[in-house]
A and B are shown apart, each in its own frame.
Chain A
Amino acid sequence: MNAIINAQNLARHFGKVEAVRDVSFSVAQGLCVGLLGPNGAGKTTTMRMIMGLTAPTAGQIDVFGAPAATLGRQMRARIGLVPQEDNLDPDLSVSENLTIYGRYFGLEKGYLARRVPELLEFMRLGDKYNARVMMLSGGMKRRLVIARALIANPDLIILDEPTTGLDPQARLLIWQQLTALKKQGKTLLLTTHYMDEAQRLCDHIVIVDAGKVLAEGSPKALIARHVPPHVFELPKPVSRKILALNHPHEDLGDSIIFFTETPAAVINALDVGTPYLHRPANLEDVFLTLTGRSLREK
Protein backbone atom coordinates (compact mmCIF):
# COMPACT_ATOMS: atom_id res chain seq x y z
CA MET A 1 0.00 0.00 0.00
CA ASN A 2 1.31 3.38 -1.02
CA ALA A 3 1.01 5.78 1.92
CA ILE A 4 0.64 9.46 0.97
CA ILE A 5 0.66 10.56 4.61
CA ASN A 6 2.33 8.65 7.39
CA ALA A 7 2.18 9.93 10.98
CA GLN A 8 4.11 8.11 13.69
CA ASN A 9 3.64 8.97 17.36
CA LEU A 10 3.05 12.59 16.48
CA ALA A 11 3.04 15.08 19.36
CA ARG A 12 2.81 18.83 19.54
CA HIS A 13 2.88 20.98 22.68
CA PHE A 14 2.09 24.70 22.92
CA GLY A 15 3.79 25.66 26.16
CA LYS A 16 2.10 23.41 28.68
CA VAL A 17 -0.89 22.63 26.45
CA GLU A 18 -0.58 19.26 24.75
CA ALA A 19 -2.62 19.75 21.57
CA VAL A 20 -1.46 16.45 20.09
CA ARG A 21 -0.08 13.77 22.43
CA ASP A 22 0.36 10.60 20.43
CA VAL A 23 -1.19 10.31 16.99
CA SER A 24 -0.28 7.61 14.47
CA PHE A 25 -2.14 6.94 11.23
CA SER A 26 -1.51 6.65 7.56
CA VAL A 27 -3.42 7.72 4.49
CA ALA A 28 -3.21 5.40 1.51
CA GLN A 29 -3.29 6.76 -2.03
CA GLY A 30 -6.74 7.24 -3.52
CA LEU A 31 -8.61 6.97 -0.25
CA CYS A 32 -10.65 9.49 1.68
CA VAL A 33 -9.65 9.50 5.31
CA GLY A 34 -11.68 11.30 7.97
CA LEU A 35 -10.09 12.78 11.04
CA LEU A 36 -12.89 13.08 13.59
CA GLY A 37 -12.87 14.42 17.11
CA PRO A 38 -14.52 16.99 19.39
CA ASN A 39 -13.36 20.63 19.28
CA GLY A 40 -9.86 20.87 20.71
CA ALA A 41 -9.07 17.21 19.95
CA GLY A 42 -5.98 18.21 17.94
CA LYS A 43 -7.35 17.86 14.40
CA THR A 44 -6.35 21.26 13.05
CA THR A 45 -2.90 21.03 14.65
CA THR A 46 -2.41 17.64 13.00
CA MET A 47 -3.41 19.10 9.62
CA ARG A 48 -1.04 22.03 10.11
CA MET A 49 1.77 19.56 10.79
CA ILE A 50 0.94 17.73 7.56
CA MET A 51 1.12 21.05 5.67
CA GLY A 52 4.49 21.76 7.30
CA LEU A 53 3.05 24.92 8.93
CA THR A 54 3.77 23.67 12.44
CA ALA A 55 6.66 21.44 13.43
CA PRO A 56 5.96 18.43 15.67
CA THR A 57 7.57 18.42 19.13
CA ALA A 58 7.97 14.66 18.87
CA GLY A 59 7.29 11.90 16.38
CA GLN A 60 7.46 11.82 12.63
CA ILE A 61 5.17 13.07 9.88
CA ASP A 62 5.90 12.11 6.28
CA VAL A 63 4.04 13.39 3.24
CA PHE A 64 4.81 11.85 -0.17
CA GLY A 65 7.56 9.90 1.60
CA ALA A 66 9.49 12.92 2.95
CA PRO A 67 9.27 14.76 6.30
CA ALA A 68 6.50 17.40 6.04
CA ALA A 69 8.65 20.19 7.47
CA THR A 70 11.31 19.83 4.76
CA LEU A 71 8.97 19.15 1.85
CA GLY A 72 10.28 20.88 -1.29
CA ARG A 73 8.25 23.43 -3.23
CA GLN A 74 7.47 21.00 -6.04
CA MET A 75 5.99 18.53 -3.53
CA ARG A 76 4.13 21.27 -1.63
CA ALA A 77 2.52 22.23 -4.94
CA ARG A 78 0.88 18.77 -5.01
CA ILE A 79 -1.15 19.54 -1.85
CA GLY A 80 -4.37 21.55 -1.88
CA LEU A 81 -5.66 22.96 1.41
CA VAL A 82 -9.23 23.94 2.20
CA PRO A 83 -8.83 25.84 5.48
CA GLN A 84 -11.50 26.17 8.12
CA GLU A 85 -11.89 29.94 7.62
CA ASP A 86 -12.73 31.49 4.26
CA ASN A 87 -9.56 33.46 3.62
CA LEU A 88 -10.51 34.58 0.12
CA ASP A 89 -9.65 38.05 -1.21
CA PRO A 90 -12.93 39.93 -0.65
CA ASP A 91 -12.03 42.82 -2.96
CA LEU A 92 -11.27 40.65 -5.95
CA SER A 93 -13.59 38.83 -8.32
CA VAL A 94 -14.26 35.10 -8.19
CA SER A 95 -12.03 34.37 -11.19
CA GLU A 96 -9.26 36.71 -10.00
CA ASN A 97 -9.17 34.86 -6.69
CA LEU A 98 -8.40 31.64 -8.53
CA THR A 99 -5.99 33.13 -11.06
CA ILE A 100 -3.96 34.91 -8.42
CA TYR A 101 -3.86 31.83 -6.22
CA GLY A 102 -2.61 29.86 -9.23
CA ARG A 103 0.25 32.32 -9.59
CA TYR A 104 1.43 31.46 -6.06
CA PHE A 105 2.03 27.97 -7.47
CA GLY A 106 3.96 29.41 -10.41
CA LEU A 107 1.28 28.20 -12.85
CA GLU A 108 1.45 29.67 -16.32
CA LYS A 109 -1.20 32.01 -17.73
CA GLY A 110 -2.35 29.67 -20.50
CA TYR A 111 -3.05 26.86 -18.07
CA LEU A 112 -4.89 29.18 -15.67
CA ALA A 113 -7.04 30.60 -18.47
CA ARG A 114 -8.31 27.06 -19.11
CA ARG A 115 -8.31 25.81 -15.53
CA VAL A 116 -10.23 28.67 -13.84
CA PRO A 117 -13.50 28.36 -15.85
CA GLU A 118 -13.20 24.57 -15.62
CA LEU A 119 -13.01 24.68 -11.82
CA LEU A 120 -15.82 27.25 -11.53
CA GLU A 121 -18.00 24.96 -13.63
CA PHE A 122 -17.00 22.00 -11.44
CA MET A 123 -18.11 23.86 -8.32
CA ARG A 124 -21.25 25.28 -10.05
CA LEU A 125 -19.94 28.84 -9.89
CA GLY A 126 -19.71 29.32 -13.66
CA ASP A 127 -22.13 32.26 -13.69
CA LYS A 128 -20.20 34.00 -10.89
CA TYR A 129 -17.02 34.41 -12.94
CA ASN A 130 -16.90 38.21 -12.57
CA ALA A 131 -18.77 38.53 -9.26
CA ARG A 132 -16.99 40.11 -6.33
CA VAL A 133 -16.30 37.66 -3.51
CA MET A 134 -17.94 39.90 -0.91
CA MET A 135 -21.24 39.50 -2.80
CA LEU A 136 -21.23 35.69 -2.53
CA SER A 137 -23.26 33.64 -0.07
CA GLY A 138 -21.54 31.48 2.55
CA GLY A 139 -22.08 28.33 0.50
CA MET A 140 -20.64 29.91 -2.65
CA LYS A 141 -17.57 31.17 -0.76
CA ARG A 142 -16.98 27.69 0.59
CA ARG A 143 -17.23 26.20 -2.90
CA LEU A 144 -14.81 28.83 -4.16
CA VAL A 145 -12.32 27.93 -1.42
CA ILE A 146 -12.53 24.30 -2.54
CA ALA A 147 -12.08 25.31 -6.19
CA ARG A 148 -9.06 27.39 -5.14
CA ALA A 149 -7.47 24.38 -3.43
CA LEU A 150 -7.78 22.45 -6.70
CA ILE A 151 -6.07 25.08 -8.85
CA ALA A 152 -2.81 23.15 -9.34
CA ASN A 153 -4.64 19.82 -9.73
CA PRO A 154 -3.25 18.47 -6.44
CA ASP A 155 -2.82 14.78 -5.65
CA LEU A 156 -3.58 15.30 -1.97
CA ILE A 157 -6.48 17.47 -0.83
CA ILE A 158 -6.78 18.42 2.83
CA LEU A 159 -10.17 19.75 3.92
CA ASP A 160 -10.71 21.29 7.35
CA GLU A 161 -14.48 21.22 7.99
CA PRO A 162 -15.47 21.77 4.35
CA THR A 163 -19.25 21.98 4.90
CA THR A 164 -19.64 23.61 8.34
CA GLY A 165 -22.51 26.09 8.34
CA LEU A 166 -23.82 25.24 4.87
CA ASP A 167 -27.37 24.48 3.78
CA PRO A 168 -28.24 20.87 2.77
CA GLN A 169 -28.12 21.66 -0.97
CA ALA A 170 -24.64 23.12 -0.78
CA ARG A 171 -23.43 20.17 1.31
CA LEU A 172 -24.87 17.72 -1.19
CA LEU A 173 -23.05 19.39 -4.07
CA ILE A 174 -19.77 19.39 -2.15
CA TRP A 175 -20.21 15.71 -1.31
CA GLN A 176 -20.85 14.88 -4.95
CA GLN A 177 -17.79 16.75 -6.13
CA LEU A 178 -15.53 15.31 -3.43
CA THR A 179 -16.70 11.84 -4.47
CA ALA A 180 -15.89 12.75 -8.09
CA LEU A 181 -12.38 13.79 -7.02
CA LYS A 182 -11.93 10.48 -5.24
CA LYS A 183 -12.94 8.67 -8.43
CA GLN A 184 -10.17 10.58 -10.23
CA GLY A 185 -7.70 8.96 -7.86
CA LYS A 186 -7.15 11.94 -5.54
CA THR A 187 -6.27 11.32 -1.92
CA LEU A 188 -8.49 13.19 0.55
CA LEU A 189 -8.04 13.94 4.22
CA LEU A 190 -10.93 15.70 5.90
CA THR A 191 -12.15 16.77 9.29
CA THR A 192 -15.80 17.24 10.00
CA HIS A 193 -18.27 17.39 12.86
CA TYR A 194 -20.99 15.83 10.70
CA MET A 195 -20.94 12.08 11.19
CA ASP A 196 -23.27 11.50 8.24
CA GLU A 197 -20.75 13.31 6.06
CA ALA A 198 -17.87 11.19 7.35
CA GLN A 199 -19.86 7.97 6.96
CA ARG A 200 -20.80 8.89 3.40
CA LEU A 201 -17.43 10.11 2.14
CA CYS A 202 -14.71 8.34 4.10
CA ASP A 203 -13.16 4.96 3.41
CA HIS A 204 -11.24 5.12 6.63
CA ILE A 205 -11.84 7.02 9.82
CA VAL A 206 -9.51 8.05 12.62
CA ILE A 207 -11.24 9.21 15.81
CA VAL A 208 -9.08 11.44 18.00
CA ASP A 209 -9.72 12.97 21.38
CA ALA A 210 -7.45 14.90 23.75
CA GLY A 211 -4.62 14.52 21.24
CA LYS A 212 -4.77 10.72 21.01
CA VAL A 213 -6.22 8.22 18.55
CA LEU A 214 -9.19 6.44 20.15
CA ALA A 215 -10.13 4.16 17.27
CA GLU A 216 -9.71 3.75 13.54
CA GLY A 217 -11.13 1.71 10.71
CA SER A 218 -13.76 1.83 7.99
CA PRO A 219 -17.11 3.32 9.07
CA LYS A 220 -18.69 -0.17 8.91
CA ALA A 221 -15.90 -1.80 10.90
CA LEU A 222 -16.02 0.93 13.55
CA ILE A 223 -19.77 0.52 13.98
CA ALA A 224 -19.46 -3.28 14.14
CA ARG A 225 -16.64 -3.05 16.69
CA HIS A 226 -17.91 -0.34 19.04
CA VAL A 227 -21.72 -0.41 19.16
CA PRO A 228 -24.45 -3.07 18.85
CA PRO A 229 -26.10 -2.91 15.40
CA HIS A 230 -29.63 -1.81 16.41
CA VAL A 231 -30.71 1.35 18.16
CA PHE A 232 -34.09 2.06 19.76
CA GLU A 233 -35.09 5.48 20.98
CA LEU A 234 -37.94 5.37 23.53
CA PRO A 235 -39.71 8.22 25.32
CA LYS A 236 -39.48 8.40 29.10
CA PRO A 237 -40.66 6.82 31.33
CA VAL A 238 -39.44 3.49 30.00
CA SER A 239 -41.19 0.31 31.19
CA ARG A 240 -39.50 -2.09 33.65
CA LYS A 241 -39.60 -4.88 31.07
CA ILE A 242 -37.32 -2.92 28.76
CA LEU A 243 -34.91 -2.01 31.55
CA ALA A 244 -34.86 -5.69 32.61
CA LEU A 245 -33.35 -6.57 29.20
CA ASN A 246 -30.24 -4.90 30.54
CA HIS A 247 -29.14 -3.45 27.17
CA PRO A 248 -26.55 -0.68 27.10
CA HIS A 249 -28.41 2.65 27.04
CA GLU A 250 -27.91 6.40 27.06
CA ASP A 251 -30.16 9.00 28.69
CA LEU A 252 -30.97 11.84 26.25
CA GLY A 253 -33.12 13.83 28.71
CA ASP A 254 -36.70 13.27 27.57
CA SER A 255 -35.91 9.92 25.94
CA ILE A 256 -33.54 6.98 26.28
CA ILE A 257 -31.68 5.15 23.51
CA PHE A 258 -31.00 1.42 23.78
CA PHE A 259 -28.36 -0.48 21.83
CA THR A 260 -29.15 -4.10 21.04
CA GLU A 261 -28.10 -7.16 19.05
CA THR A 262 -31.68 -8.56 19.14
CA PRO A 263 -34.29 -6.02 17.99
CA ALA A 264 -37.10 -8.59 18.34
CA ALA A 265 -36.53 -8.83 22.10
CA VAL A 266 -36.97 -5.05 22.49
CA ILE A 267 -40.08 -4.93 20.30
CA ASN A 268 -41.63 -7.82 22.28
CA ALA A 269 -40.90 -6.08 25.58
CA LEU A 270 -42.61 -2.84 24.47
CA ASP A 271 -46.10 -2.05 25.81
CA VAL A 272 -48.62 -1.95 23.00
CA GLY A 273 -48.93 1.52 21.49
CA THR A 274 -45.62 2.85 22.82
CA PRO A 275 -44.10 5.12 20.18
CA TYR A 276 -40.52 4.19 19.34
CA LEU A 277 -37.82 4.79 16.77
CA HIS A 278 -35.78 1.85 15.47
CA ARG A 279 -32.71 2.55 13.35
CA PRO A 280 -29.38 0.92 12.50
CA ALA A 281 -26.41 2.04 14.59
CA ASN A 282 -24.35 4.75 12.87
CA LEU A 283 -21.05 6.54 13.15
CA GLU A 284 -22.52 9.16 15.47
CA ASP A 285 -23.28 6.40 18.00
CA VAL A 286 -19.67 5.24 17.78
CA PHE A 287 -18.38 8.78 18.14
CA LEU A 288 -20.52 9.58 21.17
CA THR A 289 -19.80 6.22 22.78
CA LEU A 290 -16.06 6.80 22.44
CA THR A 291 -15.83 10.50 23.23
CA GLY A 292 -18.74 10.86 25.66
CA ARG A 293 -21.88 12.97 25.51
CA SER A 294 -20.95 15.86 27.73
CA LEU A 295 -19.98 19.25 26.34
CA ARG A 296 -16.27 19.92 25.82
CA GLU A 297 -16.02 23.64 26.37
CA LYS A 298 -13.69 24.51 29.17
Chain B
Amino acid sequence: MPQTTPLARPTFFNSVCAIWWRNFKVWRVQFWPAITSNIFQPLLYLFSFGFGLGAVFAQMGETHYLAYVLPGIVANAAFFTASFEASISAFSRFYLQKTYSAILAAPVKLVEVLLAEALWSASKATLSALAVLGVGLSLGAIPHVQMVLPVLLFTFLCCFVFACFGLMVMAYAHGFEFFSYFFTFWVTPAFLFCGVFFEVSRFPEWVQTVAWFIPMTHMIHIVRPLLLAPETLTLMTILLYTAYIISFGAISFLLAHRRLSRRLFDK
Protein backbone atom coordinates (compact mmCIF):
# COMPACT_ATOMS: atom_id res chain seq x y z
CA MET B 1 0.00 0.00 0.00
CA PRO B 2 1.49 3.40 -0.91
CA GLN B 3 2.64 5.49 1.99
CA THR B 4 1.25 8.97 1.78
CA THR B 5 1.31 10.95 4.95
CA PRO B 6 -2.08 12.59 5.10
CA LEU B 7 -2.72 16.08 6.25
CA ALA B 8 -4.98 15.53 9.25
CA ARG B 9 -6.62 18.70 10.51
CA PRO B 10 -8.62 17.56 13.52
CA THR B 11 -10.26 20.75 14.78
CA PHE B 12 -13.34 21.64 16.78
CA PHE B 13 -15.08 22.90 13.66
CA ASN B 14 -14.12 19.90 11.48
CA SER B 15 -15.31 17.43 14.12
CA VAL B 16 -18.70 19.08 14.57
CA CYS B 17 -19.23 19.29 10.80
CA ALA B 18 -18.16 15.67 10.30
CA ILE B 19 -20.64 14.33 12.87
CA TRP B 20 -23.45 16.51 11.51
CA TRP B 21 -22.60 15.21 8.05
CA ARG B 22 -22.64 11.60 9.32
CA ASN B 23 -26.17 12.05 10.66
CA PHE B 24 -27.24 13.74 7.44
CA LYS B 25 -25.97 10.79 5.36
CA VAL B 26 -27.85 8.28 7.50
CA TRP B 27 -30.96 10.47 7.31
CA ARG B 28 -30.75 10.45 3.51
CA VAL B 29 -30.70 6.65 3.54
CA GLN B 30 -33.84 6.65 5.71
CA PHE B 31 -35.40 9.57 3.84
CA TRP B 32 -38.99 8.41 3.45
CA PRO B 33 -39.70 7.16 6.98
CA ALA B 34 -38.00 10.28 8.32
CA ILE B 35 -40.06 12.58 6.10
CA THR B 36 -43.25 10.76 7.04
CA SER B 37 -42.88 11.27 10.77
CA ASN B 38 -41.27 14.72 10.66
CA ILE B 39 -43.26 16.42 7.93
CA PHE B 40 -46.51 14.61 7.32
CA GLN B 41 -47.34 14.06 10.97
CA PRO B 42 -47.35 17.75 11.90
CA LEU B 43 -49.40 18.44 8.78
CA LEU B 44 -51.99 15.90 9.95
CA TYR B 45 -52.22 17.80 13.23
CA LEU B 46 -52.56 21.04 11.36
CA PHE B 47 -55.41 19.80 9.18
CA SER B 48 -57.17 17.96 11.96
CA PHE B 49 -57.08 20.75 14.51
CA GLY B 50 -57.04 23.65 12.08
CA PHE B 51 -60.14 22.55 10.23
CA GLY B 52 -61.72 20.27 12.82
CA LEU B 53 -61.48 22.51 15.88
CA GLY B 54 -61.60 25.50 13.55
CA ALA B 55 -65.13 24.50 12.62
CA VAL B 56 -66.06 24.52 16.31
CA PHE B 57 -64.28 27.74 17.32
CA ALA B 58 -64.18 29.52 13.94
CA GLN B 59 -62.62 32.53 15.60
CA MET B 60 -60.05 32.92 18.39
CA GLY B 61 -60.75 36.46 19.44
CA GLU B 62 -60.15 38.44 16.27
CA THR B 63 -58.23 35.69 14.51
CA HIS B 64 -59.35 32.83 12.33
CA TYR B 65 -58.66 29.62 14.29
CA LEU B 66 -56.43 28.08 11.59
CA ALA B 67 -54.13 31.13 11.76
CA TYR B 68 -54.22 30.94 15.55
CA VAL B 69 -53.34 27.25 15.80
CA LEU B 70 -50.66 27.33 13.07
CA PRO B 71 -47.83 28.83 15.21
CA GLY B 72 -48.68 26.25 17.89
CA ILE B 73 -48.35 23.42 15.40
CA VAL B 74 -45.07 24.93 14.15
CA ALA B 75 -43.71 24.93 17.70
CA ASN B 76 -44.99 21.45 18.45
CA ALA B 77 -43.53 20.00 15.23
CA ALA B 78 -40.18 21.55 16.14
CA PHE B 79 -40.41 20.40 19.73
CA PHE B 80 -41.41 16.84 18.90
CA THR B 81 -38.81 16.29 16.18
CA ALA B 82 -35.95 17.80 18.19
CA SER B 83 -36.94 15.88 21.34
CA PHE B 84 -37.26 12.56 19.52
CA GLU B 85 -34.04 12.88 17.55
CA ALA B 86 -31.95 13.94 20.54
CA SER B 87 -33.42 11.34 22.89
CA ILE B 88 -34.34 7.99 21.32
CA SER B 89 -32.39 8.36 18.08
CA ALA B 90 -29.27 9.68 19.81
CA PHE B 91 -29.58 6.99 22.45
CA SER B 92 -29.63 4.25 19.84
CA ARG B 93 -26.46 5.72 18.32
CA PHE B 94 -24.79 5.89 21.71
CA TYR B 95 -26.11 2.69 23.26
CA LEU B 96 -26.95 0.23 20.47
CA GLN B 97 -24.64 1.17 17.62
CA LYS B 98 -21.77 2.43 19.84
CA THR B 99 -21.33 5.27 17.37
CA TYR B 100 -20.03 7.60 20.08
CA SER B 101 -17.32 5.11 21.08
CA ALA B 102 -16.28 4.83 17.43
CA ILE B 103 -16.15 8.61 17.04
CA LEU B 104 -14.28 9.16 20.30
CA ALA B 105 -11.51 6.80 19.17
CA ALA B 106 -10.80 9.45 16.51
CA PRO B 107 -9.37 12.82 17.65
CA VAL B 108 -12.82 14.13 18.60
CA LYS B 109 -14.01 15.43 21.98
CA LEU B 110 -17.33 14.59 23.64
CA VAL B 111 -18.42 18.23 23.67
CA GLU B 112 -18.13 18.21 19.87
CA VAL B 113 -20.20 15.02 19.61
CA LEU B 114 -22.98 16.53 21.74
CA LEU B 115 -22.88 19.88 19.99
CA ALA B 116 -23.13 18.16 16.60
CA GLU B 117 -25.99 15.98 17.83
CA ALA B 118 -27.90 19.04 19.09
CA LEU B 119 -27.24 20.96 15.87
CA TRP B 120 -28.34 18.00 13.78
CA SER B 121 -31.54 17.53 15.80
CA ALA B 122 -32.22 21.25 15.49
CA SER B 123 -31.71 21.13 11.73
CA LYS B 124 -34.11 18.24 11.31
CA ALA B 125 -36.68 19.86 13.61
CA THR B 126 -36.45 23.20 11.82
CA LEU B 127 -37.27 21.36 8.60
CA SER B 128 -40.47 20.06 10.25
CA ALA B 129 -41.36 23.59 11.31
CA LEU B 130 -40.64 24.84 7.80
CA ALA B 131 -43.05 22.31 6.32
CA VAL B 132 -45.86 23.56 8.55
CA LEU B 133 -45.01 27.19 7.76
CA GLY B 134 -44.98 26.36 4.05
CA VAL B 135 -48.45 24.87 4.20
CA GLY B 136 -49.58 27.83 6.32
CA LEU B 137 -48.32 30.21 3.63
CA SER B 138 -50.05 28.33 0.85
CA LEU B 139 -53.33 28.36 2.81
CA GLY B 140 -52.95 32.07 3.49
CA ALA B 141 -53.01 31.39 7.22
CA ILE B 142 -50.02 33.63 8.03
CA PRO B 143 -51.04 37.32 8.26
CA HIS B 144 -47.44 38.61 8.60
CA VAL B 145 -45.50 36.83 5.89
CA GLN B 146 -42.37 38.96 6.41
CA MET B 147 -42.02 37.34 9.86
CA VAL B 148 -41.56 33.80 8.51
CA LEU B 149 -37.78 34.09 8.22
CA PRO B 150 -37.21 35.55 11.73
CA VAL B 151 -39.57 32.87 13.09
CA LEU B 152 -37.54 30.19 11.35
CA LEU B 153 -34.27 31.47 12.85
CA PHE B 154 -35.80 31.70 16.29
CA THR B 155 -37.25 28.19 15.82
CA PHE B 156 -33.74 26.85 15.13
CA LEU B 157 -32.53 28.28 18.45
CA CYS B 158 -35.50 26.74 20.30
CA CYS B 159 -34.97 23.38 18.60
CA PHE B 160 -31.36 23.41 19.69
CA VAL B 161 -32.52 23.91 23.28
CA PHE B 162 -35.18 21.17 23.08
CA ALA B 163 -32.48 18.88 21.68
CA CYS B 164 -30.16 19.69 24.60
CA PHE B 165 -32.88 18.60 27.01
CA GLY B 166 -33.38 15.39 25.00
CA LEU B 167 -29.65 14.70 25.12
CA MET B 168 -29.68 15.21 28.87
CA VAL B 169 -32.47 12.64 29.26
CA MET B 170 -30.64 10.28 26.90
CA ALA B 171 -27.46 10.62 28.96
CA TYR B 172 -29.30 9.31 32.01
CA ALA B 173 -31.15 6.49 30.20
CA HIS B 174 -30.13 2.87 30.65
CA GLY B 175 -32.66 1.34 28.27
CA PHE B 176 -35.36 2.31 25.81
CA GLU B 177 -38.11 1.86 28.44
CA PHE B 178 -36.75 4.94 30.21
CA PHE B 179 -38.11 7.13 27.41
CA SER B 180 -41.72 6.35 28.32
CA TYR B 181 -41.20 8.77 31.26
CA PHE B 182 -39.82 11.35 28.86
CA PHE B 183 -42.81 11.07 26.52
CA THR B 184 -45.45 10.86 29.24
CA PHE B 185 -44.11 13.65 31.47
CA TRP B 186 -42.46 15.94 28.94
CA VAL B 187 -43.43 15.55 25.29
CA THR B 188 -47.17 14.92 25.77
CA PRO B 189 -47.70 17.65 28.44
CA ALA B 190 -45.94 20.11 26.15
CA PHE B 191 -48.38 19.22 23.37
CA LEU B 192 -51.41 19.60 25.65
CA PHE B 193 -50.58 22.44 28.06
CA CYS B 194 -48.09 24.83 26.43
CA GLY B 195 -50.63 26.77 24.41
CA VAL B 196 -50.66 24.94 21.09
CA PHE B 197 -54.48 24.99 20.83
CA PHE B 198 -55.60 27.70 23.23
CA GLU B 199 -54.30 30.15 25.79
CA VAL B 200 -52.28 28.74 28.71
CA SER B 201 -54.20 31.16 30.98
CA ARG B 202 -57.31 28.97 30.66
CA PHE B 203 -55.73 26.34 32.89
CA PRO B 204 -55.72 26.30 36.71
CA GLU B 205 -52.72 28.09 38.14
CA TRP B 206 -50.66 25.01 38.99
CA VAL B 207 -50.99 23.72 35.42
CA GLN B 208 -49.81 27.11 34.21
CA THR B 209 -46.76 26.86 36.46
CA VAL B 210 -45.89 23.53 34.91
CA ALA B 211 -46.49 24.90 31.42
CA TRP B 212 -44.19 27.88 32.01
CA PHE B 213 -41.42 25.53 33.09
CA ILE B 214 -41.43 23.92 29.62
CA PRO B 215 -39.63 26.29 27.22
CA MET B 216 -42.04 25.45 24.40
CA THR B 217 -44.53 27.77 26.14
CA HIS B 218 -42.06 30.64 25.81
CA MET B 219 -41.46 29.76 22.20
CA ILE B 220 -45.18 29.81 21.37
CA HIS B 221 -45.60 33.13 23.17
CA ILE B 222 -43.04 34.66 20.84
CA VAL B 223 -43.83 32.86 17.58
CA ARG B 224 -47.63 33.35 17.72
CA PRO B 225 -47.58 37.13 18.14
CA LEU B 226 -44.79 37.39 15.56
CA LEU B 227 -46.97 35.73 12.92
CA LEU B 228 -50.35 37.17 14.01
CA ALA B 229 -49.69 40.62 15.47
CA PRO B 230 -46.02 41.58 15.87
CA GLU B 231 -46.95 45.02 17.23
CA THR B 232 -48.27 43.42 20.45
CA LEU B 233 -44.88 41.92 21.27
CA THR B 234 -42.55 43.96 23.49
CA LEU B 235 -38.77 43.74 23.30
CA MET B 236 -38.72 42.98 26.99
CA THR B 237 -40.88 39.87 26.47
CA ILE B 238 -38.65 38.66 23.65
CA LEU B 239 -35.47 39.13 25.70
CA LEU B 240 -36.87 37.60 28.86
CA TYR B 241 -38.33 34.52 27.18
CA THR B 242 -35.24 34.02 25.02
CA ALA B 243 -33.02 34.27 28.09
CA TYR B 244 -35.09 31.56 29.77
CA ILE B 245 -34.92 29.34 26.69
CA ILE B 246 -31.15 29.74 26.37
CA SER B 247 -30.51 29.11 30.08
CA PHE B 248 -32.65 26.00 29.94
CA GLY B 249 -30.58 24.72 27.03
CA ALA B 250 -27.25 25.58 28.63
CA ILE B 251 -28.06 23.75 31.86
CA SER B 252 -29.35 20.72 29.94
CA PHE B 253 -26.24 20.63 27.77
CA LEU B 254 -23.88 20.81 30.77
CA LEU B 255 -25.75 18.01 32.57
CA ALA B 256 -25.75 15.87 29.42
CA HIS B 257 -22.02 16.38 28.99
CA ARG B 258 -21.26 15.65 32.64
CA ARG B 259 -23.32 12.49 32.72
CA LEU B 260 -22.08 11.10 29.40
CA SER B 261 -18.45 11.80 30.14
CA ARG B 262 -18.86 9.71 33.28
CA ARG B 263 -20.40 6.89 31.31
CA LEU B 264 -17.97 6.96 28.39
CA PHE B 265 -14.73 7.76 30.20
CA ASP B 266 -15.38 5.81 33.44
CA LYS B 267 -15.09 8.96 35.53
Contacts and interface: CB of A to CB of B under 8 A. Distances in A.
Interface residues of A, number: 38
B62 interface: no
A180 interface: yes
B25 A152 contact: no
B21 A111 contact: no
**Most chain A CB inside 10 Å of its own CB: which residue of B11, B22, B101:** B22
B236 interface: no
Nearest to B27: A91
Interface in B97-133: 97-99, 101-108
Interface stretch (A95-103, A166-174, A249-257): A95-103
A89 B22 contact: yes
**Most chain A CB inside 10 Å of its own CB: which residue of B97, B106, B267:** B106
A106 B266 contact: no
A105 B5 CA distance: 13
B2 interface: yes
A53 B15 contact: no
B66 to A, nearest CB: 38
Nearest to B93: A89
A100 B18 contact: yes
Given A89-B99, A92-B29, A103 B6 contact: no
A152 B6 contact: yes
Contact of B105 (A83, A100, A114): A83
Interface in A76-117: 76-77, 81, 83, 85, 87-92, 96, 100-101, 103-108, 111, 114-115
Nearest to A85: B98
B110 to A, nearest CB: 10
Contacts of A108: 6-7, 9
**Most chain A CB inside 10 Å of its own CB: which residue of B4, B8, B19, B266:** B8
Nearest to B12: A73
A30 to B, nearest CB: 14
B35 to A, nearest CB: 16
Contacts of A92: 25-26, 29
B14 A103 contact: yes
**Most chain A CB inside 10 Å of its own CB: which residue of B19, B25, B103:** B25
Given A83-B105, A89-B22, A103-B18, A73 B11 contact: yes
Interface of B: 1-11, 14-15, 17-19, 21-22, 25-26, 29-30, 97-99, 101-108, 264-267
9 contacts: A48-B266, A54-B265, A74-B8, A74-B107, A88-B102, A89-B99, A96-B25, A100-B21, A107-B8
Interface of A: 14, 48, 51, 53-55, 73-74, 76-77, 81, 83, 85, 87-92, 96, 100-101, 103-108, 111, 114-115, 118-119, 122, 152-153, 180, 184
Given A73-B11, A104-B108, A106-B10, 18 more contacts: A48-B266, A51-B105, A53-B104, A53-B105, A54-B266, A74-B8, A77-B8, A77-B106, A87-B101, A89-B99, A90-B97, A104-B103, A104-B106, A106-B8, A108-B6, A108-B9, A114-B4, A118-B2
